[in-house]
Structure 1
Amino acid sequence: MLPERKYSFEGVVASLLFIALLIVVMIQIFGRTPLFAGPVWTEELARWLWVWMAFIAIAEVERTDRQLRMGFLSEMLPAKYQRGLFTLIDIAYLGIMIHLSWIGYKTVLRTWNNEAVTLPTSDAALYASAFVASFLIINRILRRIFGRTDLNKNVEPSL
């Protein structure tokens, strides 16, 4: 099995969205000074970039298995049972994410004809963030579940 790369697709995309967000926020800040009149669309675009960045970043957190958890009960279990417990939790999480992807899909369809307030696009472009991110997250959950079947791997991620 190949080792995980330091930088992932999700991490790079989330980072680029963060840089774009910083640029848009700087335009907003300078647009409130006498230097120049700020464009109206920056507030809405900043919100959209934030949402996309946050959803894509969740997939990066799943890749590195760094989500918040309380492990005091699971740490009392032997490694074999910890592996089973974490697999059951991931299977439940996978079911939730599949359901959320369906909700995201229906939301994109429902908002397809809604026009954004200041941006020349449909509101569906904003709601597509949850739909796209859900597939990235599902991919990472499946990789973690199938990677856990290797008995030589650590059960807990290294912190």
Structure 2
Amino acid sequence: MKEPRKYSIEGIVASVFFIALIGVVLIQVFGRTPLFRGPVWTEETARWLWVWMAFIGIAEVERQDSQLKMAFLAELLPETGRRILYTLIDLVYLGIVGHLIWIAYKTVLRTWNNVTVTLPTTDAVLYASGLVAAILILHRILRRILGRRDVSVKREPSL
């Protein structure tokens, strides 16, 4: 499988959320000193930025195929067996992520009218982070499965 690009939309967005999180936390820290009184919205905003950053970061890890693996048994298999095993695992993962997308979608709809405490939006924006991340992860799993198939097709001798 070819090496993933160095930068992606997932990584860039997660990094922007991280930088914004640092800024909001600094406002919170300095707002607790005699310098100035910190705004109330920083507590909730920091939490939301953290959640969005973490979920989009998970999608970036999936893009790089860098999640934790215990591959010592898979490494004993020949390459074809290993490709089949990893494809089966990805297909199960695909089903789980598809179910998570459904749950996240229902959660966004259920919280659509829940007003947040300090932000001018609804709780659905927070829960949309899981939906967006799951869709990005689904996309990356599909690309990985199709990439494995393309490799196997290219290696087959032509008749």
Same fold (TM over 0.5): yes
Partner in structure 1 of residue 157 of structure 2 = none
> After TM superposition, what 4+ stretches of structure 1 lie above 2 angstroms from structure 2?
1-5
SS of equivalent to 2:113: coil
Q: CA deviation at 1:152?
A: 8.9
Partner in structure 2 of residue 16 of structure 1 = 16
Q: CA deviation at 1:2?
A: 8.5
How many aligned residue pairs are there?
153
Partner in structure 2 of residue 157 of structure 1 = none
Q: CA deviation at 1:118?
A: 1.1
1:102-121 aligned at under 5 Å gives the runs 102-121=102-121
Partner in structure 2 of residue 156 of structure 1 = none
Partner in structure 2 of residue 43 of structure 1 = 43
SS of equivalent to 2:35: coil
Distance in 1, Cα, partners of 2:101 & 2:152:
31
Distance in 2, Cα, partners of 1:62 & 1:23:
27
Partner in structure 1 of residue 70 of structure 2 = 70
Which residue type is aligned with residue 23 of structure 1?
Answer: G
Q: CA deviation at 1:5?
A: 2.2
SS of equivalent to 2:28: helix
Identity %: 69
1:1-159 aligned at under 5 Å gives the runs 4-149=4-149, 150-151=151-152
Deviations 1:32-77 (A, max 9, x none): 1110001111111001001001111111111110000111111111
Gaps of 5+ in 2: 155-159
Q: CA deviation at 1:4?
A: 3.6
Which residue type is aligned with residue 116 of structure 1?
Answer: T
TM-score normalised to structure 1 length: 0.92
SS of equivalent to 1:118: coil
Q: CA deviation at 1:86?
A: 0.5
Distance in 1, Cα, partners of 2:61 & 2:152:
23
TM-score normalised to structure 2 length: 0.92
Deviations 1:2-33 (A, max 9, x none): 96421001000000000000100111110111
Distance in 2, Cα, partners of 1:101 & 1:52:
16
RMSD value, Cα = 1.8
Distance in 1, Cα, partners of 2:153 & 2:12:
29
